[in-house]
Amino acid sequence: MLYYLFDYLDKSFHFPGAGVFQYISFRGAMAVITSLVISLIIGKRIIQILQKKQVGEIIRNLGLEGQIAKQGTPTMGGIIILAAILIPTLLFAKLNNIYVLLMLFTTIWLGSIGFIDDYIKVFKKDKRGLAGKFKVLGQIILGLIVGSVLYFDSSVVIKEKVSNPKYINTQHIFKVENYKESPQIFSKESYKSTKTTIPFFKDNEFDYSVLMKWIGNDYRSWSFLVFIPFIILIITSVSNGANLTDGLDGLATGTSAIIGVTLGVLAYVSGNTVFANYLNIIYIPNIEELVIFISAFVGACIGFLWYNSYPAQVFMGDTGSLALGGIIAVFAVIIRKELLIPILCGVFFVESLSVVIQVGYFKYSKKRFGEGRRVFKMSPIHHHFQKSGYHEAKIVQRFLIVGIMLAVITIITLKLR
């Protein structure tokens, strides 16, 4: 909203300094600062309200060190994160951008599902919360909406790279401006595409439509049958992975902030012709506006970490964790970097994998040997390290270090092929 206000003041009255709102870097910085202020100021007030309403976490005794001391800690703090994301985005982003609208919808949708789950747990005193099938249904619906918009909406396009520009009519191409070394040529004509980036490969673009080649020459017209289900799988997996990671003070929040910074870098270079040319990645017009959203996301995570770091004064609950994972997944899909998720979201991936291994082996051993056996002392894997005698704060710090390493590796894959 402030963007439109100052854009009007600049164009109509040449208001001094108003033109700075045209710069992504300035608006991104303002989004970070605003989200931090909202988290710190509003966050404190919300925690006080939650304490007054006795919205405390009900702890199930699993024999973990320091677990009982967390009994009664305010939960549903994800409201702080949601507010710190939505308000700066509404203030500083271009609200006619389809990608920004998708991210706002994702935040509200998953935040609402998480809120209902927390509400049932806290106020209805039902520890099970919202039935798992309804959570998954909500994630599937979100995947259908996001996938359909990305595939069918005419405003969602990428620019095709022209490999042999000398054979193309020059009126249909343009060169990257201010780039003199081997300028990349992009088509002026936008087109629908189901391409995405594959890490570690020289020709690092994969088209989902090739999976439909078996139906004949018209296979590209049916590529959405592969594209949309894959998006649903990614959203469901990452959202639930973030939910599982939210078991130690500051772990999910800190990990999400690191991932957010990396996604911001990837979004910026994907929407800039010079960087897209240099890195030989898919160029997506208007995608750079997502830098504003992800800046607010990072600021919200860091601001919430002020209260959520050990010992936590508030827990985010499913209101926050489901939304964080879904935001990361949808953002990665929009910028066509979803195949980097196993690397970038490695902490989420390992947490989820540890649960799958634990449950799977327990069932197998019970059937094979007559008794259930475990691979880990407890899953998700952060509880395994707790059972092994590591302090909670040390586990979180080391997981965050691993998260930073994975983020660096993710960025390196842009040139490491």
359 pLDDT higher than 90? yes
Helices (H), 62-192: 78-92, 98-123, 132-152
pLDDT category of residue 343 using cuts at 50, 70 and 90:
very high
With contact defined as beta carbons under 8 Å apart, do 121 and 127 qualify? yes
pLDDT digits (tens, 9 = 90+) for 296-307: 999 999 999 999
Q: Residue 350 — very low, low, confident or very high, per pLDDT cuts 50/70/90?
A: very high
Find the length of the chain: 417
Three-state DSSP at 272 gives: coil
Strands 185-191 and 173-175, by their bridges, are antiparallel
Per-residue pLDDT of 182-207, as tens digits, reads 444 455 444 467 888 888 777 678 88
Across 239-349, the runs of DSSP E, i.e. the strands, are none
Query: Cα–chain-centroid distance for residue 203?
Result: 26
Q: Is the peptide bond before 380 cis (omega within 30 degrees of 0)?
A: yes
Cα–Cα distance, 304 to 319 (Å, whole number): 13
pLDDT of residue 121: 86
pLDDT band at 179 (very low <50, low <70, confident <90, very high): very low
**Residue 310's closest CA among 43, 24, 69, 15?**
69
pLDDT tens figures, 305-318? 999 998 889 999 89
Q: How confident is the model at residue 319 (pLDDT cuts 50, 70, 90)?
A: very high
Tell me the two tokens of residue 194.
């189901």
